[in-house]
Every structure is written in structure tokens, then in C-alpha cells.
């Protein structure tokens, strides 16, 4: 939700900032803007739309500055427009600020400022904050740093803010609470970003800023303080990420690249963790809290969106293999509904970004009540990873496409390992089943490659055939039910077609009324213990003239004979099947989005990292 970039050094800031904003566009693309310190003044350029529109509007203007800040917006307060775009000036134009987050008490602060005669050009909470800071600076005759510190003690909400001050030609002031901020350490230069991607071309030395920390950033100096004005020693880490990982590498879209990366990313999720020959799983995060897991009353899985779908599958798998009661919660509901949590509960938080605001707050609440937090996160060093008691990274690499694909299959892969590891520790799994599941898991990267190789053209043709449909229904049973939900979500996100995911048998209790010859119904119908039942469900749809598209196991002539179109996946144990059956659905959504002429990497209204509630 909004990307922020900053640069202070000896080179020109503008190209670094524009390049960084393009890397962060996945976080929001309603508008973009930059503020450059020109020596005697701060110049702000901003424009509704994507970063390309900003670049075009700045063309020919003076951008000869060596310090600046930039923003790409996902609108919260105020519609996407030039005037609501960041950066925002203070009334005197002496301060410019960018903000990622939400200032919840902005209305109160605004009314105080209005009484003092301040005026506002935008509808944003951010413009209120920059003026609130300016007001404190003037009244207290203090430095910007001091004014920010005082202001933030009154602010309720989440933020990363970067500020330029006309009186400070070589300094960016930054602060965070609840939204991510990374500072890259270069040679006589510092780079600031919502994640490390804007600085990857220049440095691999980074400092992750924590909540309630304030940074004073100059070309040759990075001072970190807490809000009590005490100095903190910056902890410099080395990034384990290559530039190629955040580029399209010859694919038309990041989403397609990420779908095709899955044989490798799933392999990376398994690497060093599973030894099929030794029949062992190494997960240090599980070892760390093994005792807690073994005596846990229940496991509560907390997540949002696609990560929640991974959690739903984990519920089925953990309950089956480990015989532990599992509950799966939408973080946004869980955080507000006063759930009963004890120190006997283990929470598994699933998040690609590790920054999703609802998940983060839900975890903070659960932690206060004594629960143990296990984070399953993709982004290394992210907030959820750092606040967890133990965890495992998914190792999917940077996911840029807003619609999650490779992060999801990496989540499933690690969740399988977690379930198998706990089951082995608890003694709730037979050796033969353990070995079978391990063997299937070891083959998943090759099977995914097989699907991508063999089914790519088939799925393109199916996508073209149905790309004009108005609605879709996705149905699955048992382990494939979460995949039906995920397939529907993927289609909605990138094609804007209305799609519903449903348990296949539940369809009779309502959605069947939607079925007519216009409605494509996607069945996730790989061979499992419910296969005969789902075949009956297919018959029920066919009897009502619905169009059936089915994901089927290799060699399943019955489902293939019934369906209008099929997407074939290798046959594996039913517990492992979902990580394969989702692959055709990702491709189907991708191509339907492309055939509808849409920007599948940046679907309207969405953002990759949802750091507001």
C-alpha cells in the first residue's frame, strides 16, 4: 500500500527515485510524485496515474538535485488525483512529506490546524500530518527531527514518513510505525525504500528500520534514534537477492514469469529441509517451538487473501496428519472479535509480504495474550518475520505480480513440511504414508514443470474460449476446496470477471441457481477419495447445461469424458494434489486477463502489500 523511495548522495536523485518507484509500483499505482531539494527550495512534481505518467509530466523540468523523495500511491483518504498525490507540502512549503499508512486521528488534528488558520489542498490524512509537524516546529522553535518526534507521540495509526526540510539541504528525516522501511547503505549515499528492491542495483547493505524508530539520513551518515531521542546502533544486513529476481526476464508480465518460476521456487522451498532417503525433515523453526506445538490446545492460522487459502488447506492437512485442532482465521476479523486465546495456543501467521497490517495486528494481540507465534513469510526481514517467536521462510524470491502465484505454492510446500514434521514428532503418522508424501513432495517441482510444458497451449486455448464470460463458478471438495477458492480469487483479480469459489457439494444449496449454458464451471476434480462424489457434481452441472472445465488427474477418462474442456495434472497423493491443481488455474486466469486486454501485473484497485486495515 503505497511505495516510498528516498535518495541522498552525490549522484542525481531523480533517476534513482523514478527507477525505485517503478520497482515499487506493485504497492500502488493511483498516482506518483517526487520532491527534490534544489538548494533554495523544494520542488514537488506529482501526477495521477502510474509512474510513467509522472515521468512524462516532469519531462524537460529542472531535476538537478542530489536529494529527494518519491511516492507511488494506493489511495485511502481522497480519490486518485493530482492534488491528492504525494509528496505534500506544508503550508509554508518549507517541508515536503511522503507517507505510507493511515493517520487515524487525522480529523482531530485537522480541526485543530484549521482553527489555527492552516489550509489544505488535498483530502489526505498525510497533508494533515505534514502541517501538524510544521506547526510543532514553528511553535517549539525546534528542529524538524524534534518536531517529528513530538508529532508522532500524538499520532494514532500506521506510517512510514520521509520528509525534506528547506533548511536541511542534505538530510532526509524518516520514521516508521506499522509500515515497512529499509535503508540501503551506499558509498557516500543512502537509499530509502518500502522494500529493498529500489536499492538493489546500488547496494546490498541494508538496515531494516523498526517501529518507533526515527532516522536522520545524510550522504555519509545514518543516525537512528527511538522516539525518546536515544541513539540506536544501525544493524547492517547483507541482502541475499539478485537484480534479475526483480526483472521480467523476457516474459510479458511478472505474473507469467512467476508462474513459470514455480518448479524452481518449490524446489527452493524444499531445499535443505527434506531428505526423502533419510525420511527426515529439518525445520529449525518447528524445532524451536516443538514442545509448545506438541502440547498445543490448538493451532490458529491467521492470514488474508491467498495466504488464507494456503491456511485453509493447512487446516485440512494438519488435522488429518497431526490430529491437532486447527482454526483458520481471517486476520481482519480475528483482530477485532475478542477471540479466546491462551498460552497453550500456537498461531501460524501466513503472509507473502510479512507486512499485511491486519495480520500484523492480529499477531500482536495474540502475543499479548501469551500465544506462541510462528511466521510463515516470504519477505526476509519483514515485520511479521521479526515479530514471530519462530518461523520458516518460504524462499519463493521476490513476487512482483500483484496476484500471488509462486508465493502460494511455496506456502503450501512449507506447510506440508511443517505438518509432516509435527506429525512425525507426535507419532501420528504411519511411516508408509510419511514416506509416500515425502516422495510425492520431492517430485512436485518436476510435476509442475510437466504441467507448464504440456498444458500451456491447452490452457491458452481454453482461456480464449471463455474470456468473454460474465461469471465463473469454481468448485472443489476436500483438499481441493481451498484451490477452488484460490482459482476464483485469481480470476477476479486479473480479469475482473465475477467468480465464486464453493465447496462442490454445497453448490446444490444455492449457487446451482446460477447455472445455465452461459456459465463456465471450473471443477478441481483430481483423483481423490471424493472422486465419485465430484463426478456426480459434474453430472449435476451438465444436466443443467453448464459448461464444465475440469482440472483432472492424468488418465482420468471419466472426468475427461464428461467435461467440455480439461486441464491435466500428474496423479499424486490427494494431500499433495492441490499444489499441482492450482497451476492450471493460475495460467487460466493469467490468459483470460491478457485476452481481455488488462494489465494483469497491476490490476485496478489492488496493491501487493496491504499495509492499511
Catalytic sites, residue numbers: 2, 608
Q: According to CB under 6 A, which one of 362, 402, 535, 562 is a site residue for ligand M6R? A: 402
Closest distance to ligand M6R from the beta carbon of 582 (Å): 12
Contact present, 175 and 148 (Cβ < 8 Å): yes
For 129-167, b/e burial (b = at least 16 CB within 10 A) is bbbbbbbbbeeeeebbbebbbbbbeebebbbbbbbbbbe
Q: How far is CA 545 from CA 40, 513, 533, in A?
A: 72, 12, 19
Residue whose CB is less far from ligand M6R, 152 or 256: 256
Binding span for ligand M6R by CB under 6 A among 353-361, 498-506, 516-524, 568-576: 353-361
375 binds ligand M6R (CB under 6 A): no
Q: According to CB under 6 A, which one of 403, 522, 552, 612 is a site residue for ligand M6R? A: 403
266 binds ligand M6R (CB under 6 A): no
Cβ neighbours for 283, distance < 8 A, ≥ 6 positions apart: 273, 392, 417, 418, 421
Residue whose CB is less far from ligand M6R, 246 or 610: 610
Residue 476, C-alpha cell as written in the block: 472443489
Residue whose CB is less far from ligand M6R, 132 or 590: 590
Q: According to CB under 6 A, which one of 66, 122, 194, 353 is a site residue for ligand M6R? A: 353
Segment 196-225, which members bind ligand M6R (CB under 6 A)? none
Residue whose CB is less far from ligand M6R, 206 or 396: 396
356 binds ligand M6R (CB under 6 A): yes
Name the helix (H) or strand (E) containing 172.
strand 168-177
Contact present, 583 and 556 (Cβ < 8 Å): no
Q: According to CB under 6 A, which one of 306, 332, 388, 589 is a site residue for ligand M6R? A: 306
The angle subtended at Cα 179 by Cα 285 and Cα 145, nearest 5°, is 125
Closest distance to ligand M6R from the beta carbon of 494 (Å): 9
Contact present, 262 and 580 (Cβ < 8 Å): no
394 binds ligand M6R (CB under 6 A): no
Closest distance to ligand M6R from the beta carbon of 604 (Å): 12
DSSP state of 329: E
Segment 588-607, which members bind ligand M6R (CB under 6 A)? 606
DSSP state of 313: H
351 binds ligand M6R (CB under 6 A): yes
Q: How far is CA 498 from CA 26, 187, 487, 490, 612, in A?
A: 23, 50, 12, 11, 25
DSSP result, 274-297? EETTTTEE--HHHHHTHHHHHT-S
The angle subtended at Cα 529 by Cα 316 and Cα 445, nearest 5°, is 65
Length, in residues, of the chain: 613
Closest distance to ligand M6R from the beta carbon of 307 (Å): 4
Residue whose CB is less far from ligand M6R, 38 or 598: 598
305 binds ligand M6R (CB under 6 A): yes
Q: Which of 320, 272, 262, 327 is nearest to 298 (CA)?
A: 327
493 binds ligand M6R (CB under 6 A): yes
Please give the residue whose beta carbon sits closest to ligand M6R in the complex.
305
100 binds ligand M6R (CB under 6 A): no
Closest distance to ligand M6R from the beta carbon of 411 (Å): 8
Residue whose CB is less far from ligand M6R, 135 or 613: 613
- In three-state form (DSSP H/G/I as H, E/B as E, the rest C), the secondary structure along 336-373 is CCCCCCCCCEEEEEEECCCCCHHHHHHHHHHHHCCCEE
Residue whose CB is less far from ligand M6R, 354 or 546: 354
Binding span for ligand M6R by CB under 6 A among 71-79, 286-294, 301-309, 439-447: 301-309
Q: Under the rule (CB under 6 A), what is the footprint of ligand M6R?
A: 304-307, 351-353, 356, 359, 402-404, 493, 606, 609-610
Amino acid at each position: 500500500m503505497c511505495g516510498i523511495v528516498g535518495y541522498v548522495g552525490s549522484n542525481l536523485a531523480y533517476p534513482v527515485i523514478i527507477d525505485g518507484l517503478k520497482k515499487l509500483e506493485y504497492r500502488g499505482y493511483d498516482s506518483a510524485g517526487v520532491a527534490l531539494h534544489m538548494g533554495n527550495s523544494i520542488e514537488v512534481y506529482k501526477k495521477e496515474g502510474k509512474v510513467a505518467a509522472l515521468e512524462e509530466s516532469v519531462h524537460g523540468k529542472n531535476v538537478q538535485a542530489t536529494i529527494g523523495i518519491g511516492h507511488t500511491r494506493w489511495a485511502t483518504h481522497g480519490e486518485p488525483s493530482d492534488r491528492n498525490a504525494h509528496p505534500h507540502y506544508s503550508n509554508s512549503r518549507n517541508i515536503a512529506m511522503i507517507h505510507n499508512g493511515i493517520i487515524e486521528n487525522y480529523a482531530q488534528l485537522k480541526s485543530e490546524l484549521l482553527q489555527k488558520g492552516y489550509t489544505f489542498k488535498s483530502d489526505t490524512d498525510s497533508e494533515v500530518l505534514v502541517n501538524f509537524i510544521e506547526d510543532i516546529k514553528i511553535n517549539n522553535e525546534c528542529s524538524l527531527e524534534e518536531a517529528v518526534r513530538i508529532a508522532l507521540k500524538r499520532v494514532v495509526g500506521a506510517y512510514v514518513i520521509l520528509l525534506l526540510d528547506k533548511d536541511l539541504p542534505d538530510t532526509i528525516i524518516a520514521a516508521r510505525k506499522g509500515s515497512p522501511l529499509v535503508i540501503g547503505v551506499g558509498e557516500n549515499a543512502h537509499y530509502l525504500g518500502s522494500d529493498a528492491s529500489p536499492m538493489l542495483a546500488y547496494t546490498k547493505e541494508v538496515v531494516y528500520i523498526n517501529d518507533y524508530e526515527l532516522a536522520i539520513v545524510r550522504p555519509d551518515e545514518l543516525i537512528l534514534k527511538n522516539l525518546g531521542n536515544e541513539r540506536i546502533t544501525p544493524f547492517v544486513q547483507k541482502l541475499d537477492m539478485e537484480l534479475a529476481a526483480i526483472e521480467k526476464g523476457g516474459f510479458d508480465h511478472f505474473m507469467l514469469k512467476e508462474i513459470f518460476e514455480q518448479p524452481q521456487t518449490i524446489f527452493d522451498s524444499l531445499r535443505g529441509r527434506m531428505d526423502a532417503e533419510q525420511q527426515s525433515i529439518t525445520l529449525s523453526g518447528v524445532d524451536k517451538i516443538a514442545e509448545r506445538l506438541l502440547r498445543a490446545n490448538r493451532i490458529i492460522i491467521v492470514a488474508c487473501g491467498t495466504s488464507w487459502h494456503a491456511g485453509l488447506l493447512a487446516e485440512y492437512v494438519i488435522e488429518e496428519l497431526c490430529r491437532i485442532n486447527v482454526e483458520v482465521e481471517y486476520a481482519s476479523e480475528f483482530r477485532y472479535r475478542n477471540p479466546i486465546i491462551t498460552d497453550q495456543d500456537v498461531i501460524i501467521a501466513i503472509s507473502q509480504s510479512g507486512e499485511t497490517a491486519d495480520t500484523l495486528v492480529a499477531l500482536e494481540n495474540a502475543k499479548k495474550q501469551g500465544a506462541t507465534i510462528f511466521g510463515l513469510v516470504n519477505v526476509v526481514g519483514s515485520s511479521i518475520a521479526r515479530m514471530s517467536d519462530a518461523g520458516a521462510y518460504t524462499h519463493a524470491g521476490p513476487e512482483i505480480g500483484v496476484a500471488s502465484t509462486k508465493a502460494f505454492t511455496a506456502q503450501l510446500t512449507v506447510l506440508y513440511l511443517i505438518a509432516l514434521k509435527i506429525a512425525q514428532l507426535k507419532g501420528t503418522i504411519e511411516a508408509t504414508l510419511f514416506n509416500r508424501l515425502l516422495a510425492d513432495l520431492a517430485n512436485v517441482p518436476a510435476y509442475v514443470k510437466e504441467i507448464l510444458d504440456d498444458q500451456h497451449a491447452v490452457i491458452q486455448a481454453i482461456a480464449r474460449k471463455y474470456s468473454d464470460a460474465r461469471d465463473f463458478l469454481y468448485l472443489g471438495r476436500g483438499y481441493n476446496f481451498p484451490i477452488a477458492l484460490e482459482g476464483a480469487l485469481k480470476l477476479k483479480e486479473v480479469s475482473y470477471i465475477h467468480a465464486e469459489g464453493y465447496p462442490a457439494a454445497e453448490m446444490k444449496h444455492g449457487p446451482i441457481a446460477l447455472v445455465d449454458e452461459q456459465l463456465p464451471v471450473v471443477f478441481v476434480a483430481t483423483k481423490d477419495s471424493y472422486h465419485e462424489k465430484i463426478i456426480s457434481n459434474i453430472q449435476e452441472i451438465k444436466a443443467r447445461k453448464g459448461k464444465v472445465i475440469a482440472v483432472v488427474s492424468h488418465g482420468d477418462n471419466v472426468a475427461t469424458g464428461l467435461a467440455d474442456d480439461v486441464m491435466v495434472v500428474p496423479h499424486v497423493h490427494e494431500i499433495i494434489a492441490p499444489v499441482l491443481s492450482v497451476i492450471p488455474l493460475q495460467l487460466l486466469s493469467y490468459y483470460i486477463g491478457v485476452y481481455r486486454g488488462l494489465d494483469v501485473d497491476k490490476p485496478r484497485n489492488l496493491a501487493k502489500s496491504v499495509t492499511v486495515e
